[in-house]
């Protein structure tokens, strides 16, 4: 009996100790948004680094060592004085250096120009900076006047203004056999819904001509097109197909960890026609075909009768949406944080896109089927060699 009580007594003493081996998790809360006003440059960096850690989509393939960035730059920012414009400029150069290798073609770090020291500092766009150094880099060629030389009389055109600036759409025939559509922004569906823009009759002409017997080929020109609304993928490409077109995949964030992703989700353009267009569909693309314009290029490339002519696109193939929608992508500071922060917003993709060939063309750009480099001499003489190639391909 004595032994039993001794053993039971030991257990009554030690059982609580055993239970204490259960969790009291040493859990560090996710850093809450810093809502203190007038943050320091170090806090500006910390906020930027944390948000990039959680919201940037490309950590799976980007070679930038983000942990090393923290180790290297945190002490540097801690030594900076926000009241000293020279220090603020130094902080700007640190932001530029730490993001120099990022591969997101949309990536833009928007500078707070109210801070003395960076009033004239350009927003930071790493992909653009790298492309400027690559052979073959050229300024934008605006074929807006050049293609008028090739179009038959009676082409339709609309000039209108959007939140992204002036835009235009042009549709007509070339030599009666080729249907040509050119637009400077991918927002045709939304613009067509507003009668005041004049876009509706232009795109309606395009839709009406698609199945005309005289038309032997279609050219869609998205050169120097910065993209816009993904609605235009169904609106334009969908008008030429009668079955869903699978042209790639997207992947979203599934948690706050750098490598937390959803599975790949099929990207599909919905058919909008009872009869598919069977004649050749050419898309003209160049270095400045970006975002939805690139997706449109890739979608045409996925068509059995599609072909891409021109040069490799920009490499901003992944879509964007507000951060709250997909728990990733663009982020910005609150109004309180704005005061004193070197940046106020980061524009970055909300999902990763990969083409149906399972390759990711972010940063590298989507290559053409037929390479036709821009010819500045011909351009100055009013000739569009890429358009001529597309027309000759259709006519042969």
The residues that touch other proteins, with contacts defined as CB under 8 A, are: 3-4, 7-8, 10-11, 13-15, 17-23, 25-33, 50, 53-54, 66-67, 70-71, 230-231, 233-234, 248, 250, 252, 254-259, 262-263, 265-268, 270, 295, 319, 321, 324-327, 350-351, 353
Shortest separation between residue 321's beta carbon and other proteins, angstroms: 6
| CB of 71 vs other proteins, minimal distance in Å | 8
The least CB distance from residue 357 to other proteins, in Å, is: 17
Instruction: Compare residues 173 and 348 and give the one whose CB is closer to other proteins.
Output: 348
The tokens describing 147, both together, are 């293609």
357-383 burial code (b ≥16 CB/10 A, e <16) = eeebbbbebbebeeebebeeeebeeee
Q: Which two tokens stand for residue 135?
A: 């052979």
Burial class (CB in 10 A: 0-12, 13-18, 19+), 281: buried
Q: Alpha-carbon distance 311 to 117, whole Å?
A: 39
- The sign of the torsion formed by the CA atoms of 158, 161, 162, 168 equals positive
Which pairing describes strands 245-251 and 108-111: parallel, antiparallel, or unpaired? unpaired
Q: How far is CA 387 from the centre of its chain?
A: 26
DSSP label at 124? Answer: B
In the complex with other proteins, the residue whose CB is nearer, 22 or 133, is 22
Q: Which is nearer to other proteins, 294 or 384 (CB)?
A: 294
Name the minimum Å distance from CB 253 to other proteins. 10
Q: Which is nearer to other proteins, 181 or 269 (CB)?
A: 269
Minimal distance, residue 234 CB to other proteins, in Å: 6
User: Considering beta carbons, is residue 11 or 140 the nearer one to other proteins?
Assistant: 11
Please tell me what DSSP assigns to residue 263: P
Q: How far is the CB of 137 from other proteins (least distance, A)?
A: 29
| Residue reference for tokens 């109210």 | 114
Cα dihedral sign, 301-106-310-235: positive
Which CB atom, from 14 or from 161, has the smaller least distance to other proteins?
A: 14
Given CA atoms 286, 289, 295, 296 in this order, what sign does their dihedral have?
A: negative
202 three-class SS:
helix
Q: What is the rounded CA–CA span in Å between residue 16 and residue 9? A: 12
Q: Which residue has the tokens 């006003």?
A: 37
Q: Considering the complex, what minimum distance in angstroms separates the CB of residue 272 from other proteins?
A: 11
Residue closer to other proteins, measured from CB, 161 or 256: 256
**Shortest CB 94 distance to other proteins, Å:** 17
Q: Which DSSP helix (H) or strand (E) runs through 394? A: helix 385-395
Local structure of 317: helix, strand or coil: coil
Q: Which is nearer to other proteins, 173 or 313 (CB)?
A: 313
Q: What is the DSSP letter of 369?
A: S
Distance of closest approach, residue 217 Cβ to other proteins, in angstroms: 27
Q: How far apart are CA 67 and CA 72, in angstroms?
A: 9
Measured from the CB atom, the residue of 213 and 263 that comes closer to other proteins is 263
If you write DSSP's letter for every residue of 198-249 in order, what string do you get? -HHHHHHHHHHHTT-TT--EEEEE-TT---B-THHIIIIIGGG-SS-EEEEE
Closer by beta carbon to other proteins, 16 or else 213: 16
How far apart are CB 354 and other proteins at their closest, in Å?
A: 12
Instruction: Confirm if 338 and 36 have CB atoms less than 8 A apart.
Output: no
């Amino acid at each position: 009996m004595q032994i039993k009580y001794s053993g039971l007594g030991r257990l009554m003493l030690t059982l609580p100790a055993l239970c204490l081996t259960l969790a009291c998790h040493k859990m560090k809360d996710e850093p809450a948004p810093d809502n203190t006003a007038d943050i320091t440059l170090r806090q500006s960096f910390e906020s930027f680094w944390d948000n990039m850690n959680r919201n940037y989509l490309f950590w799976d393939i980007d070679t930038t060592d983000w942990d090393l960035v923290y180790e290297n730059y945190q002490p540097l920012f801690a030594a900076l004085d926000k009241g000293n414009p020279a220090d603020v400029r130094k902080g700007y150069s640190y932001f530029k250096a730490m993001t120099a290798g990022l591969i997101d073609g949309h990536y833009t770090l928007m500078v707070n120009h109210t801070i003395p020291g960076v009033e004239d500092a350009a927003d930071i766009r790493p992909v653009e900076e790298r492309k400027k150094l690559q052979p073959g880099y050229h300024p934008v060629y605006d074929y807006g006047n050049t293609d008028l030389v090739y179009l038959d009389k009676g082409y339709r055109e609309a000039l209108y203004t959007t939140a992204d600036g002036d835009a235009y759409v042009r549709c007509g025939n070339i030599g009666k056999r080729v249907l040509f559509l050119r637009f400077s922004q991918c927002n045709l569906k939304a613009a067509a819904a507003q009668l005041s823009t004049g876009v509706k009759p232009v795109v309606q002409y395009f839709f009406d001509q698609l199945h005309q017997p005289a038309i032997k080929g279609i050219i869609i020109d998205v050169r120097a097109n910065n993209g816009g609304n993904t609605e235009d993928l169904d609106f334009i490409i969908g008008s030429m197909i009668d079955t869903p077109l699978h042209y790639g995949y997207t992947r979203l964030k599934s948690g706050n960890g750098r490598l937390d992703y959803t599975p790949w989700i099929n990207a599909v353009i919905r058919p909008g026609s009872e009869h598919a267009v069977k004649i050749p569909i050419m898309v003209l693309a160049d270095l400045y075909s970006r975002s939805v314009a690139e997706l449109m290029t890739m979608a045409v490339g996925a068509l059995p009768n599609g072909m891409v002519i021109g040069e490799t696109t920009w490499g901003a193939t992944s879509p964007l949406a507000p951060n709250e929608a997909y728990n990733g992508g663009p982020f910005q500071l609150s109004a309180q944080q704005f005061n004193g922060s070197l940046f106020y917003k980061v524009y970055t993709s909300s999902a990763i896109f990969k083409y149906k060939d399972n390759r990711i063309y972010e940063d590298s750009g989507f290559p053409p089927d037929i390479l036709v480099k821009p010819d500045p001499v011909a351009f100055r003489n009013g000739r569009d060699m890429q358009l001529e190639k597309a027309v000759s391909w259709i006519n042969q």
